[in-house]
Structure 1
Amino acid sequence: MSSRWLRALARVALGLTLSQTLPAQALVPYTYVPNPTELQGAGLGIAQAAARLLRLGQAEDAARLAALTVQLLPADPRGWMLLAEAQLRSNQRQEAAVSLARAKDLDPNNAGIWFAEGSLALRDSRPEQAIGLLEQGLRLDSRNASAYFDLGNAHILLNQPSQALKAFERASGLRKDFWEAINNQALVLYEQGNVEEAISRWRRVLRIKPDAAEPNLALAASLFRRGGEARSEALERAGKALDLEPNYVLDSYQKEQLWGPKLRTTTQQLFEQQELKAQVDRAMANASPEDGLDL
């Protein structure tokens, strides 16, 4: 923020204070009123500071600054989008919905706003509404990989595996290293009974992200189901996955991550193996179910 703007704010504050305390007949001191260009510059400067805080993970502080931005620049949809993002990251979902609605009123052809509303609907367990919002956004921007990923998750929640698989494949086609989308393809394929193809895709994920807990454990369960020589690899990968993320020991956490009943059942059978008792017990002691992530 420029020193000129700070001096202007000080003059405004001084003028307001004196005007409130002087008698009615006294001369009201001169009050400096910033011009529109200065207001815009100040608003953009504050927005930049809010964005920096957001990148640093200080979402609540970013939201407070972004709220000041939209007061200074109420007709700029970028400020409302920034405010909504900060509110989402600080778990202010209702406030974020209001900010997104305001942004959409100002810029209805901005695909990012539709995607953000769709993601919010998905987090609030409104998958049908999420699909409508995401599809509208994709009509405006058909090359957004994250939107296709959210769309796939919404279809999973509505038990529409074919549509989910198609969306996940579109996401990974747009972003080759989008391992989460490939992982979720495997989740769908496993539930459809195509275990070997699911195994192939989880191995593909692990070539991109070798230390990701979810594909390690899912692959372990799939290999355990295959049996035979694959059993030793299954046990090794399962122990590694539980050390990386103890919450995966919980059926409820697996379900939050959109694991279907077949995979959860196989995983539970894997956890019952004597060779994994120490890792399972340690994971149960360290698991924090309240730390479950949003979709």
Structure 2
Amino acid sequence: MICLGLGSAVSPAIGQAIVPRTISVDAQSLEKTGQDLLKEAVYLTQFQQFESALSRAQLAAQLNPKAPEGWALLGGLYLNLEQSEKGISALNKSLALDDSNPGVLFSLGSAYFSQADYPAAADSLKSGLKLKPDQLEPLFDLGNTYYKLEQFDDAIATYQKAIAQNEKFWPALNNIGLVQYESGEVKEAMRQWQKATEIDEKTGEPLLALAVAHYKQGNQDQALTLAQKALEMDSRYGDVDFLVENLWGERLVEDTKMVFKLPKIRETIAQLASDAGQSPAGDLEVEEPETLSKPEAQ
């Protein structure tokens, strides 16, 4: 037997683990990468490539969590992709870092409105307008918010501020008409819708509303002509759900259903749906509407 000295023995590497080396991360390098990703996300957003932009904006926000513009862009992308909760969360993170960005407040107002949180929407929009007043679209959004809150006087006053910014902004005129109709001021509503159609002869919404008002006042021939023209301009307005989405109130919707039951209008809606390869929208009954014997009292 040959005995080897301990000094010459080689210990087996059994049970030993390789310890990973710590990688040194340069914070400035990460910040630069985040900025580059944010620029890419902005570029993609301009071309409406929201999904691709979102992944870059998410990573940019992770790399630069203290950059309010990154959270702002991320929030806006979530809203474009109809992910309201995530959008609101990201926008609030941006606001916590910088509460002087009116664009973030305007976007928050829009997001809260989409969730039917009208008090929060009003607060955000008003805060944004304090920072950047006389902005057309936020003023219009605030008017819509007041309308949903049934603060009709405030709604009309805010729509009028929007019109003061752009006298050809027919959506504000149209929505003043919506408010007035729900308030029983039918003739005043008709004046607003008439002005809106004169500004943009190719828009169907105020023309259809005007047709309904004429029908309620007993002007059935004129109502038929206007309603058919409006629906041919934009067949979406033949769908009651679409009208509700566009803030048509209960009174106007119920009166519109009466017009939609007219044989010629039913035929028009069915034909337009057929041309588009769709089934007629809505749950309208098929019985004939009652004939109005006299104009509705104002």
Q: When the two structures are superposed, what TM-score results if normalisation uses the length of structure 2?
A: 0.77
- The reply to whether residue 176 of structure 1 matches residue 170 of structure 2 is no
**Unaligned runs of at least 5 residues, structure 1:** 1-22, 290-295
Residue matched to 1:262: 251
- The reply to whether residue 153 of structure 1 matches residue 144 of structure 2 is yes
Residue 209 (structure 1) aligned to one of 200, 208, 211: 200
- SS at structure 1 position matched to 2:72: helix
* Number of corresponding residues: 262
Residue matched to 2:186: 195
Aligned mates of 2:79, 2:161 — CA distance in 1:
26
Change (3 A) 1:69 1:208: farther
Residue 18 (structure 2) aligned to one of 19, 24, 33: 24
Letter in 2 for 1:238: A
Change (3 A) 1:273 1:100: same
Residue matched to 1:81: 72
Residues 101-145 of structure 1 show CA distances to partners (whole Å, capped at 9, x for unaligned) of: 110111012222222222111110111221222222222222222
Residue 158 (structure 2) aligned to one of 161, 167, 186: 167
Residue matched to 2:57: 66
Change (3 A) 1:55 1:243: farther
**Unaligned runs of at least 5 residues, structure 2:** 1-16, 283-298
Residue matched to 1:242: 231
Change (3 A) 1:269 1:52: same
Residue 109 (structure 2) aligned to one of 110, 114, 118: 118
Q: What is the percentage of aligned positions where both structures have the same residue?
A: 30
> Contact 1:183/1:202 (CA < 8 Å) preserved in 2?
yes
Residue 209 (structure 2) aligned to one of 203, 214, 218: 218
Aligned mates of 1:32, 1:132 — CA distance in 2:
46
Larger Rg: 2
> Contact 2:270/2:280 (CA < 8 Å) preserved in 1?
no
Higher mean alpha-carbon deviation, 38-47 vs 85-94, is at: 38-47
CA RMSD of aligned residues (A): 2.6
> Contact 1:100/1:113 (CA < 8 Å) preserved in 2?
yes
Determine which structure has the larger helix proportion and give its number. Answer: 1
